[in-house]
Structure 1
C-alpha cells in the first residue's frame, strides 16, 4: 500500500502568493490604480480576501511586492551595470534598456501607480525608494566610481550627483523625496552639467 501524501502547504501558499501578485499587476494595467481593489485581486487570483490580508495590509503593499517580484524575475539574479572599459557605450546601453523598460506596459502601469501613491503615502514612498530606486541608483554609483578609478571620469565629481544627471530625465527626481533639495544641490548640478564628468 502507498502512504497518502500530505498536501504541501508551502507550495500551495507560494502558488497563491504568485497568483495574487500576478493578478495585481494585470488589474492595475487594465483598470488603473484608483479602481484596483483587494476584492478584485482576490477574485482574479482565485483566493479569499482574508488570504490577501494575511500577507499584506493594503492594495499598495500588494502592488509593491508584485513590482519587486517583476524586477527579480527580469533580473534573474544580481544585476550589475556593464563595465567594458567604455563608459559612454556602457551608459548608452543601460539608458536604452531603461527606456525600453519604461515604455513596456508591464512596467509602466505599476511604476506610475506606485510613484503616484508614494506622493501621498509617505511610508509607501519610502519603501519604493529604498526597495526599488535606491538599489538601482547604487549600481550607477559603483560604475561611475570604477570609471573614476580607471581614469575615465573626473575623480573630483560626486558620483551621486553625476548619476542623477544621467537618470533624472527618465526617473524624475521628484520621486526621491528622501534626498534634500537645496540651493547647494542646485548649484552643484549646474556646475557639474557645465563641467561634465570627463577627466580634465
Structure 2
C-alpha cells in the first residue's frame, strides 16, 4: 500500500479517536498515548502531524465544525443567524468545544490559529451575508459589520465562558430580535 494513500485515512482516524477520547475524558487527562492506542497508530504518527495535544484538539474541533456553519442564501437573515448561533452554542457546549475554549484561553499561539482558521473564516462568510442583505435593502447601509457580528456572536461566548450556561432557543431568539431591530430597514 502506498504510504501517501494511508495518511489521510490515518489523520482522520486520529482526529476521530481524539473526539471519542474527549467524550469520556477531560482535556487535561487526554493523552497522546491514549489517542494513539484508540486510533491504532503509534505516537510518532501523531507527532508527525501535530506538535502537541492542543494542536490535535484544535484540528479535531475544526473537523467537527467544518459543515456546521453553512449559510443558506434561501433563508432569511434571521433564520440564518438563528441556525448559526444555535450551532455555536451546541458546539461550544460539547466536549470538543469546551476543550477548544480551554486551549484557546491557555495559549496565545492556539488562540491566533483559532482566530485565523475558524473565527475569521466564519466572520467573513457572515459579513458577506450581512452585506448581501444591505445590498438588497433589508439592512441599514451604515451599519458597522464587525460591531454587528460582535453583537450577535459575543453574547453566546459570554454566556458559555462567563456564566457557564448554554443559551437556549428563547435567549437566541431574543438576542436576534434585539440586534436585528437596530439594523433592519423600517418598512
**Residue equivalent to 1:20:** 14
**Residue equivalent to 2:99:** 113
For the pair 1:94 / 2:78, whether they are aligned, the reply is no
Q: CA RMSD in A?
A: 2.7
Distance 1:96 1:174, change over 3 A: closer
| Aligned partner (choices 113, 123, 126) of residue 127 of structure 1 | 113
* TM-score (norm: length of structure 2): 0.78
| Aligned partner (choices 40, 44, 48) of residue 54 of structure 1 | 48
**Residue equivalent to 2:132:** 146
Count of aligned residue pairs for this structure pair? 170
Separation in structure 1 between the aligned mates of residue 158 and residue 75 of structure 2, nearest angstrom: 28
Separation in structure 1 between the aligned mates of residue 180 and residue 128 of structure 2, nearest angstrom: 23
Structure 2: stretches of 5+ with no match in the other structure: 162-177
Whichever of the two has the greater Rg, that structure is 1
**Higher alpha-carbon deviation: 13-22 or 90-99:** 90-99
Separation in structure 1 between the aligned mates of residue 106 and residue 34 of structure 2, nearest angstrom: 23
Distance 1:145 1:61, change over 3 A: same
- Any idea what the Cα deviations from partners look like across 1:121-175, whole Å, max 9, x if unmatched? 1101111111112211222111111111111111111011111111112234999
Structure 1: stretches of 5+ with no match in the other structure: 1-6, 176-191
